[in-house]
Structure 1
């Protein structure tokens, strides 16, 4: 089976984990600090503005707390988003307000976001679909003009940029994912960026039970006695990562440019192989100055054949999927929004395998299967009924 997403881990990562085991310190320590510092350099921000977490979802929950999202507030987010973003809003007693997306890029435009803003809007959360930056610069400007906070869900945009600026740093906060299916993998993990220095200083405390002092070793260097005592700044969860996962992350961070370069070549090979297939659209070209992480590669299909094509490909050993199902259709959120662009995209879009472990032969196998199956499915739909 050719997988949609797949990590690339090897001897370098195993060696890094072995070093952590041999150090006898596997909790949060120097390697976690080094991973945070390295990721901050990758973003082009100061290390005190980033905090590692045990998942991107936890980073989003912390962002909602830092944004003071609570009962009576509204948070605008594209309906094509990960459920963790919707849950982070709803768990605070706030109301998720879903906006539409462009049916081709599956990203919201500034106009989509503006149409959903109300006097109760406290924050906006935007996803960079498939790793494409989207209209983030205009959305950030809009949020500043309206006095609402912008949180960028850059979970799948770890190397995405606009005019050299990293996605996740256009707004007030940004979050990233390093789980088993992402490009940069720590097995499980996330990162939070906070622009405001005071809020950034609060983030590590919120990630560790609200404790003002989290390391007895560090405290022992400064206190003569009772370094095990602590104070609380809030009643928070434990959302930290550890040195085992951070050691993996440090290796993966060094390999990231090569991973993204390989994904770019795969996307280009898909573009060439699927060009001109009747009834099929490839992703639109990136605007000038935009760099994608190429986390997803999707095709869009006419004739209502998407679901049948997914089954055909699965039976040929090619796994496909669609992410992310529109949140305005999830009953638990209680939305009555009418979002035609998102509905159109969700009902006709299919994600093809995209990971740096794919060989050229794998990509060609997918291309050949897609071309053959699309042609067969559309031919059946268009054939006249027997007399």
Structure 2
């Protein structure tokens, strides 16, 4: 029985943590809720950092999950700029703050997120080397892109994943020169496979982005602390005034590992291993968001999903589980992206090697279509590009696992709803 004498502690002040705190109160929990955030800013959403806010199309205040006054109004004890350095599972305490404050918990939620992977090459200490993860990073990058555009400067981006491409699009809108270096043969190769990756290469080339595929950065050269060029392992040298590392993110598992919690296999993305109710190997500790690796019954694999929707939905799911009201967390993975005049939504999970072929519905050359990744007649994933209000139908096809007629799947004249039993 949950009562007013209990204390629930949330470590991590991102979207998942803020939505978990909101859900605890919405579900009637009257006990103590402590939210510990290592940033000085109130909890915020990350998609605008590489999209609308970075482009100057959204105001700073629009990124925050709640108004600052909301936390006190809902009796959420919010600790900003504080890090947790230890969990004592026996005593059920966390230690945080400059003075080593100890707080007892009845239930603990870890939403520590992920951090950008660093380039392990010479020259990363130069002033013009950037990452994008936090609000402060986006604010700095906005100024950098504006200056590059004004001065006809060059940005080299390491990595052609979603963040790399979104920053490339933003940089070109500011007027900067952009080169993207990527070891795979196409952008987004590990997510979309080669069939769709080339489409995004062409989109960015049309907007003036240069790609250097099949290569990695080996050195960033500079003078007087400033970037001058970026070199690759095949001997090429690209002029650069700034370099962005967009080579993925690593789950922040150090706290969990030190506490002896079970971790997922690093070969499959790592993270804190959780069950279908987002419980860790300690039944009084849950994990959600970017740091959690959960076994997805639909795909028969343990997944760690680093996208906005997983934080939005995973935080509340973990909160309900902490209250004893949990159900199986098996939402279809979902994310969205905006690049130039192309908007897209992707649902499902179908990395290369898991599907037989890709079915295109619509006109890919006009960038107005839906792509389906299919295995043995079943849809594993779908991506709608400049086609809207179809996500629910796509996710129903994925969730039901029904065998579909691929000719009907490719025919825009056949409503998607007709393919769902």
Q: TM-score, normalised by structure 1?
A: 0.32
Q: Answer 1 or 2: higher relative contact order, Cα 8 Å, separation at least 6.
A: 1
Structure (1 or 2) with the greater helix fraction: 1
Normalising by structure 2, report the TM-score. 0.30
User: Between Structure 1 and Structure 2, which shows a larger proportion of strand residues?
Assistant: 2
